[in-house]
């Protein structure tokens, strides 16, 4: 009919699931990505009951959801409900991103990819040929092993408070390539060029029980935790001689960019988003 206004199509829907989830920066990050790329979408935070994650995801999918990010404590459950697991999620044993296609759930893990991308692209630190140490043996390290090995470092070592857990990881990932595993006190070949704190210690204002000999004047110390200012790990690294210490804000944005590109087919620029997010967080120093 002449003069009748056409209705704009409903925007595609995405979300981040967690418990708690109110602290998540994902809605703001993805809104900025959409603005930058001209994509039309809605992105929300959904706090799932601890015993109702699978039901919440399927309800969201049935209501037109196209995909979601997944944060603590649901990454293992996200992998479990998937109809298809992409290689990084399968290797990590956990998923931080889901895509819904034709009624099927596809799982991926971009945490390790986002970490490596931040180190190489934003920090200008080339991993190839370096000696790398990953602290911890949980999901974050599991997700990082394959991306780090793909970056061709000279060596990769994993150290954990419980050495048996680090050794279990070494056995589980033996088919990917050679890397070392030990307890914190038994790390050999120190110092390292890159030390990544993937333990939860910084979340609680604590320092993992690591020796100062891990660091030297050219070491990059990277804490996955962000928004806490100068963490105990970062402070200890600097006083132990590390040349540089950074938090994980760049990783958060980079893994979000990988998810956005997977969902939408276009990869957003991340530098300005990282700068904006850094400006809104407690300052390091």
- Kindly state the tokens that stand for 147: 């991306």
Q: What is the CATH number of domain 112-249?
A: 3.40.50.720
d(CA 258, CA 264): 10
Collapse the DSSP code of 44 into the 3-class scheme (helix H, G, I; strand E, B; otherwise coil) and give the result: strand
Dihedral sign for Cα 12, 18, 21, 26, please.
Answer: negative
pLDDT on residue 200: 87
Cβ neighbours of 86 (radius 10 Å): 17
- Which residue, chain included where needed, has tokens 């759930």? 105
Q: Which residue numbers are catalytic?
A: 75
Average pLDDT across each block of 10 residues of the chain; the chain has 285 residues. List them in order.
58 94 92 96 96 97 96 91 94 92 96 96 96 92 90 95 94 86 93 96 92 97 92 97 96 97 97 92 70
Specify the domain boundaries for CATH 3.40.50.10860 within the chain: 12-109
Residue 13 has φ and ψ, to the nearest 5°, of -110, 135
Per the CB < 8 A criterion, the answer to whether 219 and 243 are in contact is: yes
- β pairing state of 220-223 and 244-246: parallel
Specify the domain boundaries for CATH 3.40.50.720 within the chain: 112-249
Per the CB < 8 A criterion, the answer to whether 273 and 28 are in contact is: no
- Kindly state the tokens that stand for 161: 């408070």
DSSP-assigned letter for residue 282 = P
Q: Report cis status (omega within 30 of 0) of the bond before 20.
A: yes
Q: What is the CATH number of domain 12-109?
A: 3.40.50.10860
- Kindly state the tokens that stand for 275: 């700068």
| Helical pair 271-279 and 249-264, crossing angle rounded to 10 deg | 140
pLDDT on residue 125: 96
Nearest Cα to 236, choosing from 250, 249, 223, 251? 223
Q: What b/e sequence results for 118-140 when a residue is b if at least 16 CB atoms lie within 10 Å of its CB, and e otherwise?
A: bbeebeebebeebbbbbbbbebb
d(CA 113, CA 240): 28
Euclidean distance between the first and the last CA atom of the chain, given in angstroms as a whole number: 64
Query: Partners of 160 in the beta sheet?
Result: 183
* pTM, 2 dp: 0.90
């Amino acid at each position: 009919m002449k003069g009748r206004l056409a209705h704009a199509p409903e925007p595609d829907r995405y979300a981040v699931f967690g418990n708690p989830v109110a602290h998540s920066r994902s809605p703001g990050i993805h809104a900025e990505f959409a603005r930058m790329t001209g994509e039309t979408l809605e992105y929300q935070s959904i706090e799932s009951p601890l015993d109702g994650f699978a039901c919440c995801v399927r309800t969201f999918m049935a209501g037109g959801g196209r995909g979601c990010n997944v944060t603590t404590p649901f990454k293992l459950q996200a992998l479990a409900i998937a109809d298809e697991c992409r290689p990084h999620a399968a290797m990590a044993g956990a998923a931080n991103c889901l895509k819904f296609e034709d009624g099927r759930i596809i799982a991926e893990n971009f945490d390790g990819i986002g970490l490596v991308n931040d180190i190489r692209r934003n920090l200008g630190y080339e991993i190839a040929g370096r000696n790398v140490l990953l602290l911890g043996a949980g999901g974050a390290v599991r997700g990082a092993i394959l991306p780090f090995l793909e970056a061709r470092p000279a060596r990769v070592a994993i150290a954990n408070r419980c050495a048996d857990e680090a050794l279990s990881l070494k056995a589980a990932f033996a088919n990917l390539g050679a890397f070392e595993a030990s307890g914190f006190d038994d790390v050999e070949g120190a110092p390292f060029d890159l030390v990544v704190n993937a333990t939860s210690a910084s979340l609680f204002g604590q320092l993992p029980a690591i020796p100062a000999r891990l660091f030297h004047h050219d070491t990059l110390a990277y804490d996955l935790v962000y928004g806490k200012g100068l963490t105990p790990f970062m402070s200890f690294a600097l006083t132990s001689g590390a040349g540089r210490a950074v938090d994980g804000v760049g990783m958060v944005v980079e893994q979000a960019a990988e998810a956005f590109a997977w969902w939408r087919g276009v990869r957003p620029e991340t530098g300005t988003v990282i700068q904006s997010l850094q400006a809104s967080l407690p300052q390091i120093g």
